[in-house]
Amino acid sequence: LADVVNTLIARMADASRLVRMVSARAVGNLGLAKREEVNRFATAVISSLMGFIESDVDELVLVSLDALAKIFDNVDEDFVSPVLVNLCLRLKPAFENSTPKVRANAFTLFGVLSNFGANNVPFMEQFHGALPSMLVHSNDKSRPVRGAAKLCIRRLIPLCGNAALDEIFLSKAFDPDILLNFEEFLDRLAPALVTFYDTSAL
């Protein structure tokens, strides 16, 4: 397995875009292996995939986002914590990408990071900084983006430990397949956010 993973990582720097894409997609499938195997190669694989997030080629961005989501669903926190804030910073521009699928997949991956967010103050700061964008895109013109943004918030908001925010974001009205009355939603949300940030240490 080591020879295969190392070869795929090397091919992710190939001059051919197709070879880079196929290699990144294949290395992402490491996330389907046993956790001890994922942990064994996690540092090198995560570093290589993160390099594609800011690519000018949307296809490479999409492949890296999908691959990282697979890895992060099956890896120990120790291998993610050192790059967590850096990853958040790289992800944020993808929220505004002109390609809907890139936006949707970026929100999906940010939501997966909730696996590592409990009691992680720097990560929570990144979440709070990204929340306005997530809220805007919960009303995105693209249905998949709306759904991904909502699911991202739903995965992360419980980490805030605030019952009022939980009630709003975990309610039926915020289900991914339901189109929000956005103005009414913001009217309800604004007082809860003001109260939360007024009393929060963040």
- Nearest CA to 159 among 108, 198, 115? 115
Average pLDDT over residues 151-160: 95
| Cα of 66 vs its chain's centroid, Å | 10
pLDDT value of residue 12: 93
**Rounded CA separation 21/65 (Å):** 12
Interval 159-178 mean pLDDT? 93
Residue 10 clears pLDDT 90, i.e. is over it: yes
Give this prediction's pTM.
0.91
Tell me the DSSP string of 132-195: HHHHHHTT-SSHHHHHHHHHHHHHHGGGG--HHHHHHHTSGGG-TTS---HHHHHHHHHHHHHH
Residue 112 makes CB contacts below 8 A (sequence gap 6+) with 69, 72, 73, 155
d(CA 44, CA 119) in angstroms, rounded, equals 26
Q: What would the pLDDT profile of 14-61 be if each residue is shown by its tens digit? A: 999 999 999 999 999 999 999 999 999 999 999 999 999 999 999 999
Model confidence over 91-118: pLDDT tens digits? 999 999 999 999 999 999 999 999 998 8
Specify the pLDDT at position 199: 79
